[in-house]
């Protein structure tokens, strides 16, 4: 077992030496609201459209038993699993995967590449509304045991053509007024009764917290299915081996069966494959002369990365904090190398993922330290929701105000009436004015002093580490 995150700085080669004008990870703050709002503007209308088209097919398959809620899938008994990322180091590690006996969770962008190497994924996770059948067509998936884990808003061709079982979930973006929590939820119900006494039973009960990219959703899905140790493969989130991303394989010509004349057995022709390389050149220009990589950043590990990949890193670490899964990375050079424990892919295969666990408290401290260093803070609740993730620029003021306002929220446990108090008056125990039955309780039981003490400690640690890294350079 690795005894903690890697602490050495990875040296960049001569081609990728960068000048001091390029920002470091410690100087960058990715604002989730900006990224999330842009994503929602681009994707939501497609998810609404896709959901409408997919609805009758999914309902029919639910009734036929070829689709089911993710929670209804039989659980595995702590079997280790691989979660595939799209970094260049995947090209090195993929050669080990045919010897792997545990779970393999990939996205639609990895599926054909795995099959090219004779590796059958246990699960393909389709999250994005633009996940289509075209990304994975070219092999006969009906001859595999692969299952599709998906949400109802993916591109209709994927739902229409997938031949094997589907495991379904809905997205949770933390808003009760979202499309996923209202209209989409209502669409996937079984209605009984009539006007005055209707009943709606949810057909898709499982919700998965969305954290910007597919790997955290893969981690959460693996956890819900009962998988144990998790290994993040190709998790560079930076430009490793002079590659923008892994070499993905597509089917140039589909396999087919030839029926010869006479009494000869059918001849099976394998698909013809085509490799798609994705090199990285920091000086590459678009046709109009602007840089392709216009937001290069030097990560804490010394590897070049970009703003959106740092945003993904923050979300992967947040997912790790939420799930508290025993997780290792197999990329020593990637930008997670200072925050997450490393193990070589050869050792993962040799042990088949049987690794000694590390303490849960270590996961909490390590992940929260990193998040605090990039302006993202975890608020602990004494009771209630459990955790809140809050981004801010001035934690001493902003976090204190956030927690004060959160403590002013009260809710009736009987009728769910919510009330915000204008001041610090404690309304807990007061009778609900609407139902006259429940007694108000705090919606958020937060110890402000305890949270601030913990966060100040993380910020002090971050300042020390940043000074050490500056001295290393």
pLDDT tens readout for residues 266-305: 666 678 999 999 999 998 998 898 988 888 999 988 899 9
- Mean predicted lDDT score pLDDT of the chain: 88
Q: How far apart are CA 332 and CA 8, in angstroms?
A: 10
Beta pairing class for 272-276 and 248-253: antiparallel
DSSP state of 26: G
Identify the pLDDT of residue 331.
Answer: 94
Retrieve residue 214's tokens.
């597919």
Measuring CA to CA, which residue among 106, 49, 98 is closest to residue 221? 106
Retrieve residue 44's tokens.
């939501």
Radius of gyration of the chain (CA): 25
Q: What is the mean pLDDT of residues 243-262?
A: 81
Greater pLDDT, 5 or 348? 348
Identify the pLDDT of residue 268.
Answer: 66
Give 394-412 as a 3 state SS string: CHHHHHHHHHHHHHCEEEC
Identify the pLDDT of residue 234.
Answer: 97
Q: Is 81 helix (H, G, I), strand (E, B) or coil?
A: strand
Query: Could you report the per-residue pLDDT of 201-235, keeping only the tens digit for each?
Result: 999 999 998 887 889 999 999 999 999 999 999 99
Question: Is residue 381 scored above 60 in pLDDT?
Answer: yes
Question: Is residue 19 scored above 50 in pLDDT?
Answer: no
CA distance to 42, 71, 211, 338, 388, per residue, from 320 (Å): 27, 20, 11, 14, 14
Please name the residues in contact with 411: beta carbons below 8 A apart, sequence gap of 6 or more.
417, 418, 419, 440, 441, 443
pLDDT category of residue 15 using cuts at 50, 70 and 90:
very low
Query: Could you report the per-residue pLDDT of 42-92, keeping only the tens digit for each?
Result: 889 999 999 999 999 999 999 999 999 999 999 999 999 999 999 999 999
pTM of the full structure: 0.88
Percent of the chain with pLDDT over 90: 67
Identify the pLDDT of residue 119.
Answer: 96
Neighbours of 317 (CB within 10 A): 23
Q: Are 4 and 341 in contact (CB under 8 A)?
A: yes
Q: What is the mean pLDDT of residues 153-176?
A: 95
Identify the pLDDT of residue 42.
Answer: 81
Identify the pLDDT of residue 115.
Answer: 96
pLDDT category of residue 265 using cuts at 50, 70 and 90:
low
Q: Kindly report the backbone phi and psi dihedral angles of residue 242, in degrees, each rounded to the nearest multiple of 5, phi listed first.
A: 55, 35
Q: How far apart are CA 39 and CA 391, in angstroms?
A: 18
Q: Are 303 and 315 in contact (CB under 8 A)?
A: no
pLDDT category of residue 386 using cuts at 50, 70 and 90:
confident
Ranking 262-271, 362-371, 384-393, 431-440 by mean pLDDT, the lowest is 262-271
Identify the pLDDT of residue 467.
Answer: 77
Q: Is 1 helix (H, G, I), strand (E, B) or coil?
A: coil
Neighbours of 355 (CB within 10 A): 19
Greater pLDDT, 8 or 217? 217
Please name the residues in contact with 53: beta carbons below 8 A apart, sequence gap of 6 or more.
156
Q: Are 207 and 182 in contact (CB under 8 A)?
A: no
Query: Could you report the per-residue pLDDT of 137-160, keeping only the tens digit for each?
Result: 999 999 999 999 999 999 999 999
Measuring CA to CA, which residue among 189, 204, 167 is closest to residue 75? 167
Greater pLDDT, 260 or 291? 291
Q: How far apart are CA 320 and CA 314, in angstroms?
A: 10
């Amino acid at each position: 077992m690795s005894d903690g995150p890697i602490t050495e700085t990875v040296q960049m080669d001569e081609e990728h030496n960068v000048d001091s004008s390029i920002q470091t990870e410690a100087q960058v703050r990715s604002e989730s609201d900006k990224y999330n709002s842009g994503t929602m503007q681009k994707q939501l209308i497609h998810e609404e459209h896709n959901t409408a088209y997919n609805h009758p097919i999914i309902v029919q398959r639910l009734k036929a038993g070829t689709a089911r809620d993710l929670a209804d899938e039989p659980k595995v008994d702590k079997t280790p699993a691989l979660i595939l990322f799209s970094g260049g180091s995947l090209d090195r590690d993929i050669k080990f995967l045919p010897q792997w006996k545990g779970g393999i969770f990939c996205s639609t962008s990895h599926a054909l590449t795995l099959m090219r190497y004779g590796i059958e994924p246990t699960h393909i996770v389709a999250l994005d509304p633009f996940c289509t059948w075209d990304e994975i067509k070219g092999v006969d998936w009906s001859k595999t045991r692969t299952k599709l884990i998906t949400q109802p808003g993916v591109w209709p061709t994927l739902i229409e053509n997938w031949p094997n079982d589907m495991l379904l979930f809905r997205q949770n973006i933390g808003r009760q007024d979202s499309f996923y929590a209202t209209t989409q939820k209502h669409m996937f119900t079984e209605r009984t009764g009539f006007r005055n006494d209707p009943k709606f039973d949810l057909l898709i009960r499982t919700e998965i917290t969305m954290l910007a990219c597919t790997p955290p959703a893969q981690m959460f899905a693996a956890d819900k299915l009962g998988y144990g140790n998790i290994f993040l493969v190709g998790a560079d989130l930076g430009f490793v081996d002079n590659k923008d991303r892994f070499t993905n394989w597509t089917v140039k010509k589909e396999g087919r069966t030839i029926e010869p004349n006479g009494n000869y057995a059918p001849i099976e022709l394998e698909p013809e494959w085509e490799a798609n390389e994705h090199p990285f050149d920091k000086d590459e220009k678009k046709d109009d002369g602007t840089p392709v990589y216009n937001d290069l950043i030097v990560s804490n590990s010394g590897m070049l990365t970009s703003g959106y990949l740092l945003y993904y890193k923050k979300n992967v670490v947040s997912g790790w904090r939420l799930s508290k899964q025993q997780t290792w990375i197999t990329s020593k050079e990637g930008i997670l190398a200072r925050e997450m424990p490393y193990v070589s892919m050869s050792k993962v295969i040799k042990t088949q993922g049987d690794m000694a666990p590390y303490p849960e408290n270590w996961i909490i401290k390590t992940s929260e330290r990193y998040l605090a260093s990039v302006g993202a803070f975890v608020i602990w609740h004494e009771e209630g929701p459990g955790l809140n993730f809050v981004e801010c620029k001035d934690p001493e003021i902003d976090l204190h105000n956030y927690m004060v306002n959160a403590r002013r929220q009260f809710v009736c446990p009987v009728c769910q009436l919510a009330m915000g108090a204008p001041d610090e008056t404690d309304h807990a125990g007061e009778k609900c004015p609407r139902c006259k039955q429940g007694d108000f309780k705090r919606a958020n039981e937060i110890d402000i002093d305890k949270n601030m003490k913990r966060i100040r400690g993380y910020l002090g640690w971050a300042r020390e580490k940043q000074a050490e890294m500056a001295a290393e350079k």
